[in-house]
């Protein structure tokens, strides 16, 4: 393993929260004067960047923190019933043996992530859970995490399922792995040139044995 620290996104990367996120969004959208997301447009949305997504749904950027805060609060009621991404539990346990520190950086609430990991018996695998309410604020947090652990940029890897995760990592100057089972499509992720593009959870084991 060439990385000393692995940092994961949560929603869509470790936890299968996408269906629940859409349900909650559609529940609260009328309160913000925003239209709901129809099932038949989900495939199209997977190809959009964050800016394109907000424009498509006509969501003012200033409304985003409030929507996230309310949405993550509502998610807490069902978080223990949500599923892990297939294979991720085993991969997390194996990867943890090969790195110095393990963490999560998410737009979800830390309490939600903590409860989810405890439900699935994985909380002890992670050294920290960090959260940002700004959809575009991850680069700053990644830099802070790197400094906290006294890492060179090439010693840390961020792992996410969205175009914005790749852009944040690249802005922070650290390597990034994108997973294709989350929100954004494989094609849209590949276009951003991540260092790794994983199609299934077992692909993570390439980090341990790259040959």
Q: Give me the chain's average pLDDT, please.
A: 94
CATH code, domain carrying 190? 3.40.50.1000
- Domain extent at residue 76: 18-80
Greater model confidence, 115 or 209: 115
One domain for residues 26 and 110: no
Q: 0.75 cut: is pTM over it? A: yes
Which residue bears the tokens 């914005």? Answer: 164
Q: Tokens representing 28?
A: 């609260």
Which pLDDT score, from 0 to 100, does residue 62 have?
A: 86
76 and 103 fall within a common domain: no
Over residues 128-145, mean pLDDT: 88
pLDDT at 83 over 90: yes
Residue 136 is predicted with a pLDDT of 67
Which of 58, 80, 102 marks a domain boundary? 80
Within 13 Å, how many C-alpha atoms sit on residue 147's CB side?
7
Half-sphere exposure of 102 (CA within 13 A, CB side): 15
pLDDT band, residue 29 (cuts 50/70/90) = very high
Contact 130, 95 (CB under 8 A): no
């Amino acid at each position: 393993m060439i990385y000393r620290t692995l940092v994961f996104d949560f929603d869509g990367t470790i936890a299968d929260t996408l269906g629940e996120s859409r349900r909650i969004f559609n529940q609260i959208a009328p309160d913000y004067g925003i239209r709901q997301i129809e099932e038949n447009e989900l495939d199209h949305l997977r190809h959009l960047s964050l800016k394109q997504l907000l424009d498509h749904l006509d969501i003012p950027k200033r409304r985003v923190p409030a929507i996230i805060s309310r949405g993550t609060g509502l998610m807490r009621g069902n978080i223990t019933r949500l599923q892990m991404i297939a294979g991720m539990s085993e991969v997390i346990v194996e990867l943890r043996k090969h790195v110095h520190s393990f963490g999560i950086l998410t737009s979800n609430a830390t309490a939600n992530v903590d409860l989810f990991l405890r439900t699935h018996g994985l909380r002890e695998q992670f050294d920290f859970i960090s959260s940002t309410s700004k959809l575009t604020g991850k680069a700053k947090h990644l830099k802070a995490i790197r400094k906290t652990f006294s890492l060179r940029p090439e010693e840390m890897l961020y792992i996410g399922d969205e175009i914005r995760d790749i852009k944040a990592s690249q802005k922070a100057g650290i390597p990034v792995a994108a997973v294709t089972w989350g929100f954004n499509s494989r094609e849209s992720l590949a276009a951003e040139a991540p260092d790794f593009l994983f199609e299934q959870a077992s692909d993570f084991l390439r980090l341990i044995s790259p040959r």
